[in-house]
Amino acid sequence: MLLSIITINKNNASGLDKTIQSVINQTFHDYEYIIIDGNSDDKSVKIIEQYRNKIDQVVSEPDKGIYDAMNKGLELATGKYCLFLNSGDYLFSNIVIDKIFQELKNEDIFYGNLYLDKNGNLEPFTYTKSLSINYLLENGIPHQATFIKRILFKSVGFYNTEFKIVSDWFWTLKCFVNQDVTYRHAEIFCSVIDISGISFDPENQLLIQNEKHSAKKMLFSKYMREYFKYSHELESENIMLKNNILYKFHKKVVFLKRWIYNNVSRIRFNKENLQNKDFTIICNNCIAGVIYHNFDLEFKSPTINLFFFSPDYIKFLENFEFYINQELNFVKKSKYFDEKPSYPIGLLFDIEVHFLHYTSEKEAYIKWNKRIDRINKNNLFIIGSDKDLCQFDHIERFDKLQFKNKIFFSAKNYPSLKSVIHIEKYNNRTEIGDLIERQEWLNYIDLITWLNTGKIKKYFLKKYLFRIIFD
């Protein structure tokens, strides 16, 4: 078994239902699902029974708190990796676990990003690529988006039940202090977390501070004198550094970096420089929506807030006129995975359209047909990427398409294919990462020049300037 997904719950039936659905609808199958319920007296047990045939192990009994319940889950787990996804939190998409295990290279700890659910509005929250003791002393990594080798819990120990809120943070800190662990961060949004949990409650912030102070004393008890001495010396060095001309220069560089970062999107989406405004972008993900939104243009493409699996997308493009004139129907199951999806799946004759960010079939149908009517067939721009079951054959076929303006983002370099833009950051991976959130694809092409002239103009300074700013 590759993965153990553990959910703990106490009287959160509605949140539990959402969590369970996000797990059992994954396209990834090599996992076991464990639910530890704290003897709930709401409808939680009924919810669990509703999905019982999809859940491998269930425990419903009183516990001594969150971390006692998490430890019970660990005792039952048999997977190589463990993921804690507690009730109210849910996996961001049905294919996200597949994405994780395509990226994971046997690291001890592998973590991604997440979204904060603020009354239905999803706010992205990203984490640092580089973990250090100094960072971990005050910060943590999200257990809802962290995949941990189960064997680590044997060497480091289970979660400390003396703490009510910070035990997962303490375990991670202890792990890095006492173990030579390997880790990696992925630019993948794994989960959506419920900010009504106890760690987000303002009334618990003092308790969190006190628990962290106690944890540090517990962990560093033998070395506290050296630790505080080092902190004092470091503070003195920082004071001296502020008076140094090098520090002043460093401040200017940091300021310049921040200024460029804050203004680069304005430069890339400068509406005054965009002459061609009546265009249609067809793409296999959400990039079209980003472009129209940033230029404040009407959506003149049906491929907004959705995605295609690569075999269907290539087929769609090769027979574009045929498919855009097909009636949009809907199916309950995908040919690419067995589980029931949490979003509408459209069907154009024989290809699937995955309306990932739509709430209903009705919404998807109305918006698809409204935007189909807006397509400017004389001014088409086609975008592809090597995601969602893409094979080399698909990239070759994309390059041979008759569309005049087309680009394809790839983790691998194919010099003979003129439409391919190599995203060098993902050199050692099978596919590119999430380009939408950080808009990394804009580091590799002058978007305005492409939309105005159709010419693929790459940034001369991208290898130096953009990597310094965004990496």
Q: Which amino acid is at 30?
A: D
pLDDT value for 226: 54
Q: Which amino acid is at 178?
A: N
pLDDT at 198 over 60: no
pLDDT confidence tier of residue 436, bands split at 50, 70 and 90: low
Q: What is the pLDDT of residues 444-463, one digit of tens each?
A: 788 888 999 998 876 544 44
Residue range 218-223: mean pLDDT, rounded: 61
Residue that the structure tokens 């965004």 belong to: 470
**Cβ of 119: how many Cβ atoms within 10 Å?**
6
**Cβ of 260: how many Cβ atoms within 10 Å?**
15
Residue range 221-240: mean pLDDT, rounded: 52
Phi, psi of 125 (to 5 degrees): -135, 115
pLDDT value for 121: 79
Q: How far apart are CA 364 and CA 353, in angstroms?
A: 10
pLDDT value for 77: 96
Q: How far apart are CA 193 and CA 341, in angstroms?
A: 20
pLDDT confidence tier of residue 210, bands split at 50, 70 and 90: confident
Q: What is the pLDDT of residues 253-277, one digit of tens each?
A: 656 655 554 555 455 566 778 899 9
Cα–Cα distances in angstroms (integers) from residue 164 to residues 5, 82, 136, 158, 207, in the given order: 22, 21, 19, 14, 9
pLDDT value for 471: 45
Question: What is the pLDDT of the chain when averaged over all its residues?
Answer: 84
Q: How many residues does the chain have?
A: 471
pLDDT value for 73: 96
- The rounded Cα 318 to chain-centroid distance in angstroms is 30
pLDDT value for 252: 63
pLDDT confidence tier of residue 347, bands split at 50, 70 and 90: very high
pLDDT value for 179: 82
- Stretch among 12-21, 28-37, 384-393 having the lowest mean pLDDT: 384-393
pLDDT value for 397: 96
Q: What is the pLDDT of residues 32-89, one digit of tens each?
A: 999 999 999 999 999 999 999 999 999 999 998 999 999 999 999 999 999 999 999 9
pLDDT at 30 over 80: yes
The pTM assigned to this predicted structure is 0.52
Phi, psi of 374 (to 5 degrees): -90, -5
Q: How far apart are CA 346 and CA 353, in angstroms?
A: 5
Q: What is the pLDDT of residues 105-115, one digit of tens each?
A: 999 999 999 99
- Stretch among 201-210, 235-244, 422-431 having the lowest mean pLDDT: 235-244
- The rounded Cα 323 to chain-centroid distance in angstroms is 31
CA dihedral 286, 289, 293, 297 (to 10 degrees): 160
pLDDT at 322 over 80: yes
> In this structure, are residues 257 and 468 in contact, taking their beta carbons and an 8 Å threshold?
yes
* Among 1-15, 284-298, 436-450, the range of highest mean pLDDT: 1-15
